């Protein structure tokens, strides 16, 4: 999402502009005081905040700025997350975390790229941004420490479900090479009862491999169950009229769905309108118009992957548990009798509309039209 960050100082006030090019071992800093001033590039060991403070002091002196000159900085969102932003803020620096995909790049077939060049480009774009060129890039909305930590639960569950599916598919593949299939009901040492294409038992090495895979899958299943229990406990103890309490009151919205939606930022991202909600999903249209040529390129897909997946799941659940709602009736009228491809397209539209409805319900309490609530 586009953050609501705005300059807090006058455009005529002098300031020190600093950009960071981050890596695991070293940070590259580029500093300048404005347009037509050659940037000064320095390096320091990654995470050395004491050296960083010294460089900022030296930067002010180098450009002839007073010791209390405000410092504004930026860096690209990446593996370091937001702790650097919080550290800079604590040092009194006005920082912005930049969406890397929104940065302008040369379209030449080959272009030079080094940490120094990237830092220089960022600091020059930072000057343009503070001079009033708001569209030079997009900034990332920085969550609070509590909101950032809360995301680990739902993201861990997503990763575990994928790992569980991968193991089951592996077992199916191993058995398929012997003309066998995985039974629907799997209890005890089920692999010992599976027969090959000719009615023989599976070879001992294969049985042992399946046993080890099943042991791993059982551990993962226990961890998923523990996370589900924790998510249900959180939603069950949520305060009345809180976003979590509201969402789980809707039929078709489970505790896991509500937890993931909230942890991924349905509320803390502070959306200002429905377009921003649709934009964070990446389900917005991407038109292409040039001269007489005009066509739609489909949805952008430039959204948060966990939020996209849970939104699609929530959309299918909504059609099942809220069949009389206007949204479900619209899907039935437009896509229910169409082919599979059309239904897949339609469910994306339902997911986008549903997320907007859930956002309004979670933040304002406006119940989606025609929605049924769970019995008390």
118 and 34 co-located in one domain: yes
25 and 132 co-located in one domain: yes
* Domain end (from 237, 261, 285): 237
Residue 247's pLDDT band (boundaries 50, 70, 90)?
Answer: very high
Q: On the CB side of 201, how many CA atoms lie within 13 Å of its CA?
A: 10
Instruction: Identify whether 161 is part of a domain.
Output: yes
Beta bridge mates, 98: 76, 139
259 and 320 co-located in one domain: yes
36 and 130 co-located in one domain: yes
Distance CA 62, CA 206 (A): 70
Tell me the pLDDT tens digit for each residue of 56-95: 999 999 999 999 999 999 999 999 999 999 999 999 999 9
Indicate the SS3 state at residue 165. helix
| Encoded tokens for 84 | 């650097």
Give the model's pLDDT for residue 8: 43
Tell me the pLDDT tens digit for each residue of 325-341: 999 999 999 998 888 88
- Count the domains in the chain: 3
Q: What percent of the chain has pLDDT over 70?
A: 97
Distance CA 49, CA 157 (A): 35
Lowest mean pLDDT among 31-35, 235-239, 292-296: 292-296
266 and 186 co-located in one domain: no
Say if residue 7's pLDDT is above 70: no
* Domain end (from 192, 216, 237): 237
Instruction: Identify whether 225 is part of a domain.
Output: yes
Tell me the pLDDT tens digit for each residue of 337-355: 888 889 988 999 999 999 9
Instruction: Identify whether 372 is part of a domain.
Output: no
Q: In what order do the strands lie in the sheet with 94-98?
A: 40-45, 26-32, 16-22, 71-76, 94-98
Instruction: Identify whether 321 is part of a domain.
Output: yes
163 and 104 co-located in one domain: no
The answer to whether 14 and 65 are in contact (CB under 8 A) is yes
3-state helix, strand, coil in the chain (%, to 5): 50, 15, 35
Say if residue 43's pLDDT is above 80: yes
155 and 183 co-located in one domain: yes
Beta bridge mates, 22: 27
233 and 261 co-located in one domain: no
* Domain end (from 89, 117, 136): 136
Average pLDDT (38-58) is: 96
Give the domain extent around 300: 244-364
Residue 375's pLDDT band (boundaries 50, 70, 90)?
Answer: confident
Beta bridge mates, 96: 74
Average pLDDT, the chain: 90
Tell me the pLDDT tens digit for each residue of 259-282: 999 998 899 988 888 888 888 888
Instruction: Identify whether 150 is part of a domain.
Output: yes
Residue 372's pLDDT band (boundaries 50, 70, 90)?
Answer: very high
Give the model's pLDDT for residue 13: 77
Instruction: Identify whether 352 is part of a domain.
Output: yes
Instruction: Identify whether 354 is part of a domain.
Output: yes
222 and 257 co-located in one domain: no
Quickly list DSSP for 300-353.
---S-HHHHHHHHHHHHHHHHH-TTSHHHHHHHHHTTTS-HHHHHHHHHHHHHH
Distance CA 35, CA 124 (A): 8
Instruction: Identify whether 369 is part of a domain.
Output: no
249 and 343 co-located in one domain: yes
Distance CA 286, CA 296 (A): 6
Choose among 155, 142, 169: nearest CA to 231: 155
The answer to whether 140 and 103 are in contact (CB under 8 A) is no
280 and 190 co-located in one domain: no
How far CA 125 is from CA of 35, 69, 116, 118, in Å, comes to 10, 20, 14, 11
Q: What is the CATH number of the domain that holds 85?
A: 3.30.420
39 and 123 co-located in one domain: yes
């Amino acid at each position: 999402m586009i953050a609501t960050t705005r300059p807090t100082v006058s455009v005529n006030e002098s300031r020190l502009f600093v950009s960071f090019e981050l890596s695991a071992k070293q940070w590259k800093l580029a500093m300048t005081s404005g347009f037509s001033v050659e940037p000064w590039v320095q390096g320091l060991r990654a995470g050395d905040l004491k050296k960083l403070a010294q460089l900022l002091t030296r930067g002010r002196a180098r450009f002839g700025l007073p010791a209390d000159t405000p410092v504004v900085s930026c860096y690209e969102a990446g593996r370091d997350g937001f702790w650097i932003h919080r550290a800079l803020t604590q040092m009194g620096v006005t920082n912005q975390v930049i969406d890397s995909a929104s940065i302008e790049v040369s379209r030449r077939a080959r272009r030079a790229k080094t940490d120094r060049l990237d830092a220089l480009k960022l600091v020059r774009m930072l000057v343009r941004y503070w001079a009033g060129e708001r569209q030079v890039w997009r900034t990332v909305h920085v969550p609070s420490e509590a909101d950032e930590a809360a995301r680990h639960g739902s993201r861990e569950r997503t990763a575990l479900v994928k790992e569980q599916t991968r193991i089951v598919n592996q077992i199916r593949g191993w058995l398929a090479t012997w003309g066998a299939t995985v039974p629907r009901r799997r209890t005890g040492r089920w692999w010992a009862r599976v027969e090959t294409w000719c009615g023989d038992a599976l070879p001992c090495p294969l049985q042992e491999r399946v046993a080890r895979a099943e042991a791993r899958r059982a551990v993962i299943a226990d961890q998923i169950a523990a996370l589900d229990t924790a998510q249900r406990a959180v939603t069950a103890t949520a305060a009345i009229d809180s976003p979590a309490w509201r969402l789980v009151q809707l039929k078709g919205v489970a505790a896991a769905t509500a937890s993931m939606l909230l942890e991924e930022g349905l509320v803390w991202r502070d959306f200002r309108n429905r377009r921003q909600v649709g934009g964070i999903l990446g389900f917005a249209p991407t038109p292409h118009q040039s001269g007489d040529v005009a066509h739609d390129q489909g949805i952008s897909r430039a959204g948060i992957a966990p939020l996209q997946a849970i939104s699609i799941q929530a959309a299918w659940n909504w059609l099942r548990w809220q069949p009389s709602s206007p949204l479900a009736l619209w899907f039935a009228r437009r896509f229910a009798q169409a082919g599979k491809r059309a239904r897949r397209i339609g469910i994306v539209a339902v997911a986008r509309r549903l997320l907007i409805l859930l956002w309004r319900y979670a933040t304002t309490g406006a119940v989606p039209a025609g929605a049924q609530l769970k019995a008390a």
